Copies of this chain bind each other. A is one copy, B any other.
Amino acid sequence: MEKRWRVNACQSVNAMINFVSNNAQTGVFSVFGMRTVYWDFEKQEVCMIDQRRLPAALEVISLRTCQAVSEAIKNMTVRGAPAIGAAAAFGLALAVRESKFGETASCYSDLQAAAAVLKAARPTAINLAWAVDRMLKVIGGQLEGRTLEELQAVALSEAQRIADEDVEINQRMAQHGAALIEDGDTIIHHCNTGALAAVDWGTALGVIRTAFGQGKRVHVLVDETRPRLQGARLTAWELQQYGIPYEIITDSMAGHFLSRGEVQKVLFGADRIAANGDVANKIGTYMLALAAKDNGIPVYAVAPTSSIDLSLADGRLIPIEERDPEEVLGIRFHGEPIAPQGAKARNPGFDVTPNRLITAIVTENGIVYPSFEENLRKTLKR
């Protein structure tokens, strides 16, 4: 069901051509020649960079079923709150095509089932549910008098709109956020929030890219981000493509560098933001924000307004995904297992950073300062 191909320096010209023809309307060129998630109009498939393989190989896989997209989200072939939102939207477009029903009303019940599977793949990031609900709403509003083929076109067009908007939203966020970055800043960045975490450009890393593009000299201390090492594997790889200077640190080192006065800003993304500004993000964010606060260093969460969940009063209500302990235990040290046989591990994928530790939240509608309770609502109304 799944095809896979490797993109290297030589091949990326083809990828670029493919990209340009598919996405000419956005005018955005990812430095690695393609979007993280995109629709192949010729083959009518969802394509995505396999993020489990980077940095060893830049491989793209194509998927033809909604179930395969759910799996890819769950096993983190594609990850990053905005990217999984877009992937899920394309997944629902596939689901319309897959429907066995000849008429649109019955098709919708298939879609609702597919939507439930997609949402359950990753419970913490609200963007996934947001994109799925948006797709359902648009498709649901077009059921009357449409052929299944027309409905497929509606679904695909909405998924493509979500993807295109994501790029545009990322760039607006980056413009707002870049104003916070000063020439000469050393920035600690957690997890991966770059082009790979979105359809293109990125959230927190997008801010850094834009600031760097404005000529500001920045240096990034890249939290490796255990257990899945998205920082070392993905963020370092992206920064290398962009020519932005960086050094990898273990997550546990951030406090040391903050306490030595070597860091001016802390940036990360968000998987879900509660109404009071509490931020659920990749595990380790809370301790990083604490260390920044303890040293008077500003902390910025960068996320689209689709990450804001006003239905939850505070962060304690955000569901935290607990993943396979093998993600913790499975790395190798000097070629050997890192833990004794039979060792158990815990693996919460996210934690909640209380709003009191966050200086501001950067959205596509601008920079939101406390009181978040009040100002997040205002941002959403813009």
A-side residues, CB < 8 A to B, are 52-53, 55-56, 221, 224-229, 232-233, 236-237, 240, 246-257, 259, 283-284, 286-288, 290-291, 294, 320, 325, 328-348, 351-352
Contact = CB atoms under 8 A, between A and B. Distances in A.
A344 B254 contact: no
Given A290-B290, A291-B287, A291-B290, A248 B56 contact: no
Contacts of A240: 340, 342-343
A340 B237 contact: yes
Nearest to A352: B259
Contacts of A287: 252, 254-255, 287-288, 290-291
A343 B232 contact: yes
B284 A250 contact: yes
A283 B348 CA distance: 22
Interface of A is mostly: mixed
The oligomer's copy count stands at: 2
A329 B338 CA distance: 15
Nearest to A315: B259
A225 B328 CA distance: 12
Given A247-B345, A248-B328, 8 more contacts: A225-B252, A228-B333, A233-B338, A250-B283, A251-B284, A252-B252, A253-B351, A256-B286
Contacts of A229: 333, 338
> Which of A226, A325, A330, A332 is packed against the most chain B CB atoms within 10 Å?
A226
A228 B288 CA distance: 20
B328 A249 contact: yes
A296 to B, nearest CB: 14
Contacts of A338: 224, 229, 232-233, 331
Contacts of A284: 250-253, 255
The 7 A-B pairs with the shortest beta carbon distances in the complex, nearest first, are A252-B284, A56-B336, A226-B250, A55-B340, A256-B351, A255-B287, A251-B252
A49 to B, nearest CB: 14
Most chain B Cβ neighbours within 10 Å, of A254, A286, A328: A286
Given A56-B337, A227-B250, A284-B253, A221 B346 contact: yes
A376 B307 CA distance: 50
Q: Which of A237, A252, A294, A345 has the most chain B CB atoms closer than 10 A to its own CB? A: A252
Contacts of A291: 286-287, 290
B251 A250 contact: yes
Nearest to A241: B340
Given A250-B227, A287-B254, A291-B290, A335 B332 contact: yes
A57 to B, nearest CB: 8
B236 A252 contact: no
A257 to B, nearest CB: 7
Contact of A248 (B247, B345, B351): B345
B55 A337 contact: yes
Contacts of A221: 346
Contact of A247 (B246, B257, B286, B344): B344
Contacts of A259: 286, 351-352
A340 B227 CA distance: 17
Contact of A332 (B52, B251, B294, B332): B332
Contacts of A328: 224, 248-250
A205 to B, nearest CB: 15
